[in-house]
Amino acid sequence: MAGVHGKNAELRISTAEARIGPVQMTLHTDATLAAQQVFEAPDKNWRYEARDEYDEAIVTYISNGVEKQVDQRRLHHTEGAAWIPPEDHAGLVAASVSGTYTALTMETVANLTTDDRSFELNTESDIVDTTTLNESFKTFVESIQGWTGSLDGLYRNPARFKLAIANASGIIPRKILRLKPRPDHDTYFQGTVIFPNFNLSGGYDSAIERGIEFNGNGPLDLVEDGLPWFPGMV
């Protein structure tokens, strides 16, 4: 089954959260990732978005006698993994790699199947114009990244709108959305989402339809064939 459609979306919530660490991380069990110096923690599903500087996921290591911290873009929150920069591989002390993070206990609350017709996932980057006088061509730099999307389908039960009311009340737990481009493979995108809009529409000559928009809150991870994928890894 190919393509992206509503049957491939799954909604999860965090039923419990615990601050863990620092704990020692070990080389990944996958040989290819281990050769690239990817380390994994005992826990998966780290909190994606930090509420403050003391709440973010932190992975540290020692290379050539200097303690360093892994950049956030080299962390894979879904799989609880970190990729050590290639320039630090030669002097890396493997036993020094440790992580501190908030682990989420996940529970699936909905498989978005029977009433979903489609969904859309958009990734985006803010672009900053850096052009100055006397330049021949415009120049830009990439700034803050983000992701958004929507879920569209028929209105058949009030579950989603109960969720919307709970969300507006501020008592709903953290929500994790998983989107699978290939439902027959263990490959998916996953991240924390906020649902700012729930819309109903209908007419005398049509079924009642609903639309749900979501905004990504923090990074969007890709798990490919059950393994963490890191941008820039060859």
**Angle in degrees, CA 60, 65, 66, rounded to 5:** 45
pLDDT band at 87 (very low <50, low <70, confident <90, very high): very high
Q: Are residues 112 and 100 in the same domain?
A: no
- Calculate what percentage of the chain has a pLDDT beyond 70: 65
Residues 59 and 114 both lie in one domain: no
**118-176 pLDDT, tens digit each:** 666 777 766 777 788 877 777 766 666 677 777 766 666 666 556 555 555 554 456 77
In a domain, 148, yes or no: yes
Residue where a domain stops, chosen among 104, 129, 149: 104
Last residue of a domain, one of 79, 104, 129: 104
DSSP letters along 168-224, please?
Answer: HHT-S--EEEEEEEETTTTEEEEEEEEEEEEEEEEETTEEEEEEEEEEE-S--EEEE
User: CA-CA distance, 101 to 48, in Å (whole number)?
Assistant: 10
Same domain, 221 and 199: yes
Residue 115 lies in a domain: yes
With beta carbons less than 8 A apart as the criterion, state whether 104 and 27 touch: no
At 216, which CATH number?
Answer: 2.40.30
- Are residues 171 and 97 part of one domain? no
In a domain, 69, yes or no: yes
Residue 66 in domain: yes
Give yes or no for residue 180 having a pLDDT over 80. Answer: no
Mean pLDDT over 22-50 rounds to: 92
Confirm whether 172 is domain-assigned. yes
- Please indicate, yes or no, whether residues 93 and 145 belong to a single structural domain of this protein: no
Mean pLDDT over 81-105 rounds to: 93
233: in domain: no
Residues 86 and 137 in one domain: no
Residues 54 and 66 in one domain: yes
Beta strands 116-129 and 140-154, pairing class: antiparallel
Q: Based on the number of CB atoms within 10 Å of its own CB, is 216 exposed (0-12), middle (13-18) or buried (19 or more)?
A: buried
CA–CA separation, 41 and 148 (whole Å) = 29
In this structure, which amino acid lies at residue 65? Answer: G
Q: Of 50, 84, 104, which closes a domain?
A: 104
Model confidence at 55, pLDDT cuts 50, 70, 90, reads confident
Q: Which residue has the tokens 């500087």?
A: 53
Tell me whether residue 91 is in a domain: yes
- Mean pLDDT within 101-108: 82
Read off the pTM.
0.73
In the block, residue with structure tokens 């609903």:
210
3-state SS, residue 74: helix
Alpha carbon distance 73, 75 (integer Å): 6
Q: Do residues 47 and 134 share a domain?
A: no
Contact 179, 188 (CB under 8 A): yes
Number of structural domains the chain divides into:
2
Q: Are residues 112 and 98 in the same domain?
A: no
- For 30, the domain range is 16-104
State the average pLDDT over residues 30-48.
93
Closest residue by Cα to residue 194 from 176, 181, 180, 179: 176
Task: Spell out a b/e string for 151-164, using b for 16 or more CB atoms within 10 Å of the CB, else e.
Answer: bbbebeeeebeebb
Q: Are residue 119 and residue 54 in the same domain, yes or no? A: no
